[in-house]
Structure 1
């Protein structure tokens, strides 16, 4: 799928799901890493992570597009367009958009697993931590490294 096809898909979804036109640009943005898409409040353009299509399929792509279109239409209608707003949550549920984008292959999993020596509370971390500076949040016991690079 190229940018022209994406633009037409976004315009089609906007008319079918929201009953309003989308008058700005929708493009693929390969620099997006941790999000499925982005709506720009200043330019009203939508950027979509291409991995939503290549790794997760058309249905996920459509869910991300609906999510970004919720931001777009609510913002232009002076309603609550943020994730925490009731207007946003209600409209997103009505059109069937995705609340959260699925993880892409480049997102790192938890590489380090620490465990409390007293109560056994596990802690998963992406980065290695200094065990002298941290204690268990439940019982204030000492932490120890249980598994390293197991979850990469």
Structure 2
């Protein structure tokens, strides 16, 4: 084997040419991740009257529950996609009794065999009496 000391180089994998600074910055740039917000917990919004509830602003496609601080009333104010508001009014009423339960199906009671036999004997006696009267 001939000796070629100046031309022999060990195998090196291909490496792309050095990128310019702009390319390096673009590769290393990662946009800041905004922290994810937890879902808003429902909070109580107090209003003084129905008029104040009617004037309460609601964002499109959302709803808010408004509690009247002067009366046992709750207002549910909603807005559709175009922002048109609508309001439902609910009165809070105390429940004094437990709800009435549905009536249960009546239980079936069976007659004892001795009572059925006594009834059969009475029917036989009446049938025999009718037969005698018919003759």
The two structures share one fold, judged by TM-score above 0.5: no
Structure of greater Rg: 2
Work out which structure has the larger RCO, using CA pairs closer than 8 Å and 6 or more positions apart in sequence: 1
Instruction: Write 1 or 2 for the structure with the bigger share of helix.
Output: 1
TM bin (shorter chain) = under 0.3
The two structures have a TM-score, normalised by structure 1, of 0.20
